[in-house]
Every structure is written in C-alpha cells, then in structure tokens.
Amino acid sequence: MTPLLTAENLAAPHGFFTRQGGVSSGPFASLNCSFSSADDAGNVTRNRALVAQAIGVPPKNLIGLKQVHGTAVIDFDTPWPPHQAPSGDAIITGNQNFAISVITADCAPVLFSGAGGTLVGAAHAGWRGALAGILEATVAAMRARGAQDITAAIGPCIHQTSYEVSSSLRDPILTQDPQAEQFFVPGRENHWHFNLPAYCQHRLAAIKIPAAILPHDTCADEENFFSHRRRTLRGEPAIGHQISVIKPI
C-alpha cells in the first residue's frame, strides 16, 4: 500500500503522498513522481501508477500540469495528450473519472474541496505563487463553477524553523501586506524564518476559505519527504518530488 496523508476537512477523496512506497532509487528513492527530474522515466511512470491506484483512478487519468510558479488555473474536463500538459500552477475539475495533482518538494501543495466534494482543486503554492495570488485564483475559478462551501488543506511543505530567507523574499511580501510581518521571525543578521503554510492559510482566510495545515516539514523529515532546500544546503545534484492528489466524488 502506497503511504499517504489526509486532511479531515476535505470531503473529496485525496492524498498527500510521501516519498515512500515507490520504485525509484538513489536520490529519487522511492516515490518520485516528477517527469522533470533526472529519474528514469519508466520509474516515474510506475510510481504515478501506484499513486493512481491508491486514489482509485486508472494511471492515464491522473492529471498534472507543467508548473511554473505562476497564477494560471486550468479548468480540466477532458484529457490532453500524454506529456503535453498545459503550463499552470492550479487545476480544478468536477470530472469524477479523473484525479488532479500537483508536484512539490518544499512548496505548499494546497488541495480544495467544494460543492460537497463534487468540485475539487489542487494548487502549487511556493512563496512567489502565493504572493502573486494562485490560491485566490483557484478559489475564484471554483466559485465561478458554483462552489460555495469550499474548504482547503495545506499539505507537507517547508515550515518556519527550516525556512530561513533574506529580504528579497520578505520585502515584496510585506510591501503587499504589512500584516504578513507576523509570519517572519528573526534569524541570522538580515535573515528571517518564514512561515509559508501559515501565510497561505492567512491569504485563504482573507477570502473566507477555512484551511487546515498538516504539520509535516518536508525539509526536516528526510525519511518521508523530498526537499529542495535540503538538497541545496548539501550541494546535492539531484532531487525527487512528492505528489498531492484529489478526486471529485
């Protein structure tokens, strides 16, 4: 059984998958689900098939995007050709035959359930995407489809203790929203520790979306999660990515 984490506030079937339970090896061990990595494509395909099986769809019906740290939201209904996914950082669907997904390795995966679980969304929210409004754009797209009872869950991502940042991150966030200062605590000189999941929760609360935060820090928990920050600190050349998935009822 492929391990996954769930949030109690989401009505739709979903899973925040860890790095465990796949077939990849080396730095990609073991459930690497990113085709953009240097991992063997056959292993990634098998890993994604395991995820699809766990969530209850055929492998070809596990849908993802080319993530670009932007604000584009794709309203999915019918599949695109293999390996020709559009660019975007969030996807919504009401098609019960498919599951939608985002790939992360420290950024926040945010899953949404609305209309009693019959309309769902998945967003990739790094600090740039969150600042630019990817979460608000996802909610707006779901509301445009008629969903009013939307809830969200912020999955495993880098947490404040692990996330030391400079003014190049802090300044644009505080320029847009001075109240966001609450999400920074001092670190080394001219550095701060940033609370990414709480910042995402704050932005969702501003548009009246309740959001749960899962407690897992991807950077601190090497056994269970891939982490871009951890790889960078160690100077390692390769990295895998975990996947988060949701499916309409």
DSSP 12-76: S-EEEE-S-S-S--GGGTTT---TTSSS-HHHHHHHHHHHHHHHTS-GGGEE--B--SS--EEEE
Over the stretch 96-112, which tens digit does the pLDDT of each residue have?
Answer: 999 999 999 999 999 99
Confidence grade of residue 160 (pLDDT, cut at 50, 70, 90): very high
Instruction: Measure the CA–CA gap between 24 and 38, rounded to whole angstroms.
Output: 11
Mean pLDDT score of the chain: 97
Determine contact, residues 137/73, Cβ cutoff 8 Å: yes
* Domain range list for the chain: 4-157+210-246
Q: Which CATH superfamily is domain 4-157+210-246 in?
A: CNF1/YfiH-like putative cysteine hydrolases (3.60.140.10)
| pLDDT 10s digits, 203-237 | 999 999 999 999 999 999 999 999 999 999 999 99
- % of residues, the chain, pLDDT over 70: 100
pLDDT tens per residue across span 7-18: 999 999 999 999
CA 44 vs CA 34, 102, 109, 173, 241: distances in Å: 7, 14, 19, 35, 10
Q: What is the pLDDT of residue 215?
A: 98
Fill in the DSSP letter of residue 217.
B
Full-model pTM: 0.98
